[in-house]
Structure 1
């Protein structure tokens, strides 16, 4: 089952699987640009920005476990079980807890973050 998010109409959004604590991966579609941030930063932290085609490619690679040097974003595991998401073009990095990344991945698997589906 694929989920089509009305993200273009509501700004920043997170996975529907995220917990009530609110700490999670947040995404925003702005035309052909995708922005990613960490809610723990309360809007004051770094934001990863990339074009929608590269974002959708990243999500496809993430789903099949083949995020490599060709991907726009690097996914780096941390010793504590968390994940660092790093933009390859400028090094911007976001740190997520194990739970935050797990909820994001559930949303990815459900199709909640696919730009092409949201704007169709």
Structure 2
């Protein structure tokens, strides 16, 4: 399925349906002209301040290209997109000032959600 297809616009933070009951996942929120990405693991630690949770912002106009870079449909390192860095133990998503670390299972669930059209922005 196309990464640009969509059904119902979403509000608030959401995760891929492929994450199922997992409390560790890539979370996304459409917020005006920006799409926000965060790691749900951060809030599981009571010592972490929710107001300081690391969040990566992608301009809405760049969101489709970001989704295509996640699924390998276009080369990453496009200007304005977060860098995706697979490592043997995790997948790092980072910009010049923010880094998020996801397990391979979390990233796979996110990718499957993209391929299923779950993260396409509302038109």
Q: Same fold (TM over 0.5)?
A: yes
Residue of structure 1 equivalent to 2:62:
54
In structure 2, the gaps of 5 or more residues are 44-49
In structure 1, the gaps of 5 or more residues are none
Aligned residues: 112
The equivalent position to 1:86 in structure 2, one of 68, 91, 94, is: 94
1:66 and 2:75 equivalent? yes
- TM-score of the superposition, structure 2-length normalised? 0.80
Q: Distance in 2 between matches of 1:5 and 1:18?
A: 19
Larger deviation, residues 11-20 vs 68-77: 68-77
Q: Which of the pair has the greater relative contact order for Cα pairs under 8 Å at 6+ separation?
A: 2
**Does the 8 Å CA contact 1:61/1:71 hold for their aligned counterparts?**
no
- TM-score of the superposition, structure 1-length normalised? 0.82
